[in-house]
Amino acid sequence: MPAKVHDVAILSDFRYPGGTSASIAAEVYAQAEAALSTVLVHVPSPHQPNTLPFSPRISDLVRDGVAELAREDQAVSARLLLVRQPRIFTEDLPAPPLVTAERTVMVINQPPGDAENPFRYYDFTAVRDRVHRYFGPDVEWAPISSQVRDQVLKVAPDARLAPADWHEIIDVAHWWRDRDAFVDDVPVIGRHGRADPVKWPRDPGELLQAYPETDDLRVRFLGGGEIAVKRLGRQPENWDVVRFGAERPDEFLRSIDFFVYFHDPEWLEAFGRTILEAMASGVPVIIGEHFRPIFENAALYSTPAGASALVHELYANPARYRAIAVRAREFAERRYGHQSHLSRLAEFGIRPRISVPAPRPAPAAPAAAHRVLMVSDNGAGMGHLSRLMAIARRLPADWSAVIATQSYGASIAHREGFLTEYIPSRKVLDVAKPRWNRLVRERLAHLIALHQPEIVAVDSVPHEGIADAVRDHPELTWVWVRRAMWQRGVGAEFLADGKVFDRVLEPGEFADTADEGLTVPERGAAHRVEPITFLSADELLDAAAAKAELDLNERPAALLQLGAGNINDIASPVARIARHLSRHGFQVVLAESMIATAPMPRVAGAKVVKIYPVSRYLRAFDLVVSASGYNSYHEQIGFGIPTVFVPNTATRLDDQVGRARFAAASGVALSVEDPSSAELEQVLDAAVRPEVRAAMRRRCAELTFANGAVAAASWLAGLRARHVRLGG
């Protein structure tokens, strides 16, 4: 038995040039700061060239004396053995490693395969058998991320995985640098990492979308840029391609303003260490939506096509750029800082021998005196989220809002300038209701502790997880933003759960006299305002400007917007509507939802736009054909836009049919309840007549209403003062 027992032994192939070695180095330095001993056990992988040297990061560990390198013939003993890189075990080793440990963790830092071939890199079952043969049956298997976890379970559903991921860590204080200004007089975007074809977009068109060839951007690559050049067949003049290793990553990151990273669509990134390094350095990152479970709201999410616009938008707003950088740094420290690694070592009984200094606090972004947490507890549409943003953008100057949403539109709230927290919906996580309720309760507790709101406003139907969170935090004022117009006889359980709230705010309904829902008898206990719209009338573009923005000519134009595209299918009449209106001389524009997970059907002769908020451009249109959800209904009536409503009849709670019928009866719009019938063409034939549209405009002007978002924001802010006086 060896005389010395190390705290941690790390077994791997130390010749890997990328994230594997960087991850090992980060953990060793964290252990050294806590006066914990580390020994490195090198086992060559059959997939690495024999002549390849150790990674410089590993050599530095040995040179700096923060880790000991075991000899090939040296027996090693440790309290905890960490094994990294499963591909080492795709073949039998020449001899079993001379390592004994009280506990062993196999860190699965690479998935078995990718989307195209789930077994591309290794056979998980064969690797598991070898690892158990060498280290015993009690090895604990810990994926590095949820993506790796999902891939392992896909090929080995019986795999017993640790409940928590063995995530990456980073020394934020080492990477962070305050930035006084942008790098250049045009934005500089870039990325760094080892050269690997799968880490780059396969399609040349997507490459140029992500890293444009244009005079108003500079592009820098550290490592792998030669792959992009080869795929294009040339090197754009604004690209600076630096070979891997020619600059230190921390120095490189100080030479760019934005970290933009997209890869082969079939590649499954295990974690994204270079993304974390950029965040810790104060460089905002723009990445694909699939990274959201790892980096939550600390990153900016886009597609290659949308990255450039996002870069220019932030470059024009230094204050927002700074806020995003600070938020990312705080996230990196909280989730992936050294303390997170020391905490998980403590679960194995390995505790620091010296006190570890607290992390250096991030520079604080300017904060308002009071804060409201606004929760939109829905996963598919934009209605709840848009109402909350409408109120939030009109709060008094000494108030700020944090948006927490399950909607796929979280990135839209982010782009609108709100501090945004994403809560994956039950549908996204695919979990049972009891577990889901616990998750919501715990997530809200975390957000309350983090953001310290005085008020929590929830725009949704309440459920057990929300109700438990209300009971857990009686010190806060809880407001239910309860939209009316429920379908007849539906929702009694929601009203019962809603009794836990302190107050109820009811956004107004133009069709309130036709409301037959269960909220009608409850109106007396609610604070009611006029209908809420995201924009007010003075924020809309005039007709000429809106047409120019949408590239429309002077012919009549019609807008088709028939819902989120994720709730259910009411898009089938789209082609019929477009063809019919085109025959009447209309330019047809299809509004594709910003959060649709499937593209809208393309219709010959129709223009497709994907913009938010659509209401900003409404004056470009002579006619709108729309579902009668709360937001679009009140925008089109409130702004006097002639409309044909096609109600969505498959919603669980919202009475869209009632709204559409009332609008038609009031003369402010027309309605089609059965778009599969000839009624559709009959109503459209009426709507294209100029005198019919003129009559709808006049009637809208007679029955107009103010934007209730202003009153709602003022009322919310006033709750704090009343709460304080009552408490005193």
**DSSP letters for 682-696:** HHHHHHTSHHHHHHH
Q: Distance between CA atoms of 9 and 696, rounded to whole angstroms?
A: 76
How is the beta sheet containing 239-242 ordered, strand by strand?
239-242, 218-222, 188-192, 258-261, 285-287, 300-301
Closest CA to 274 of 294, 289, 246, 293: 294
What's the rounded Cα separation, in Å, for the pair 240 and 311?
A: 18
Q: What is the pLDDT of residue 723?
A: 43
Whether the CB-CB separation of 531 and 638 falls below 8 Å is answered with yes
Rounded to whole angstroms, the Cα distance separating 368 from 359 reads 25
Counting every residue, how long is the chain?
Answer: 728
Q: Shortest CA distance to 7 belongs to which of 358, 359, 346, 355?
A: 346
Q: How many helices (H) and strands (E) does the chain have?
A: 26, 25
DSSP of 565-630: SSS----TTHHHHHHHHHHTT-EEEEE--TT-SSPPPP-TT-EEE--S-GGGGGGG-SEEEE---H
Would you give the end-to-end CA distance of the chain in angstroms? Answer: 69
Of 313, 291, 8, nearest in space to 187 by CA: 313
Mean pLDDT by 10 residues, the chain (728 residues): 81 85 91 91 88 86 87 92 94 92 94 83 94 95 90 92 91 81 93 90 94 96 94 96 87 94 84 91 93 89 93 91 89 89 92 62 54 80 89 92 85 82 77 85 89 94 91 95 95 92 96 95 94 94 93 95 52 82 95 64 78 93 96 96 94 94 97 94 97 96 93 91 37
Task: Report how far residue 203's alpha carbon sits from residue 284's, in angstroms, rounded to the nearest whole number.
Answer: 25
CATH number of the structural domain 537-702? 3.40.50.2000
Measure the CA–CA gap between 642 and 625, rounded to whole angstroms.
Answer: 9
Report whether 406 contacts 389 (CB < 8 A). Answer: no
Crossing angle for the helix pair 656-666 and 630-638, to the nearest 10 degrees: 10
Domain boundaries, the chain: 5-155, 172-336, 370-528, 537-702
User: Cα separation of 403 and 646, whole Å?
Assistant: 31
CATH ID of 172-336, from 3.40.1440.10, 3.40.50.11740, 3.30.479.30, 3.40.50.2000:
3.40.50.2000
3-state secondary structure of 334: helix
Distance CA(720)–CA(133), nearest Å, equals: 63
Residue 468 to residue 194: CA distance in whole angstroms: 47
SS3 102: strand
Label residue 282 left, alpha or beta by phi (over 0 means left) and psi (-120 to 50 means alpha). left
User: Could you give the C-alpha distances from 229 to 144, 190, 223, 265, 487, in angstroms and in order?
Assistant: 31, 14, 12, 18, 58
Which element (helix H / strand E) includes 5?
strand 5-12
Q: How many CB atoms lie within 10 A of CB 203?
A: 13
Alpha-carbon distance values, 509 to 34, 56, 399, 534, 700 (Å): 61, 65, 27, 15, 14
d(CA 282, CA 324): 9
Look at phi and psi of residue 104 and say left if phi exceeds 0, alpha if psi is from -120 to 50, else beta.
beta
Structure tokens at 505: 């705010």
Contact (Cβ atoms closer than 8 angstroms) between residue 565 and residue 597: yes
Beta bridge partners of 41: 11
Q: How many CB atoms lie within 10 A of CB 179?
A: 16
Residue 205, pLDDT score: 94
In terms of Cα–Cα distance, which of 413, 364, 377 is closest to 393?
Answer: 413
Using the Cα atoms of residue 372, residue 377, residue 380 and residue 383 in order, give the sign of their dihedral: negative
Taken in order 713, 715, 716, 718, the sign of the CA dihedral is positive
CA 632 to chain centre: 24
172-336 and 537-702 share one CATH topology? yes
Helices assigned H by DSSP within 214-337: 225-232, 249-253, 273-280, 292-295, 304-315, 318-336
Non-local (6+) Cβ contacts of 36 within 8 A are 7, 8, 345, 350, 352, 353
Question: Distance between CA atoms of 582 and 666, rounded to whole angstroms?
Answer: 28
Query: What is the predicted pLDDT for the residue at 426?
Result: 78
Residue 613, preceding bond cis, omega within 30 degrees? yes
Element (H, E) at 374: strand 370-376
Q: Which two tokens stand for residue 279?
A: 């965040």
Architecture of domain 5-155: 3-Layer(aba) Sandwich (3.40)
Helices 464-472 & 433-451 angle (0-180, nearest 10): 40
Question: Do the Cβ atoms of 507 and 707 come closer than 8 Å?
Answer: no
Dihedrals phi, psi of 401, to nearest 5 degrees: -120, 140
Structure-block tokens of residue 227 = 């792959």
Distance CA 48, CA 439 (A): 42
Q: Are 83 and 11 contacting, i.e. CB atoms less than 8 angstroms apart?
A: yes
Contact between 374 and 392 (Cβ < 8 Å): yes
Q: Which CATH architecture has domain 370-528?
A: 3-Layer(aba) Sandwich (3.40)
Give the count of alpha carbons within 13 A of 548, CB side only.
5
Of 103, 83, 90, 85, residue with least CA distance to 7: 103
Contact 446, 368 (CB under 8 A): no
CB 45 within 8 A of CB 75: no
In this predicted structure, what is the pLDDT of residue 256? 96
Whole-model pTM: value is: 0.54
Q: Would you list the DSSP string of 651-718?
A: -SSB-HHHHHHHHHHHTS-EE-S-TTSTHHHHHHHHHTSHHHHHHHHHHHHHT----HHHHHHHHHHH
pLDDT for the residue 278: 95
Residue linked to tokens 């898009």 = 571
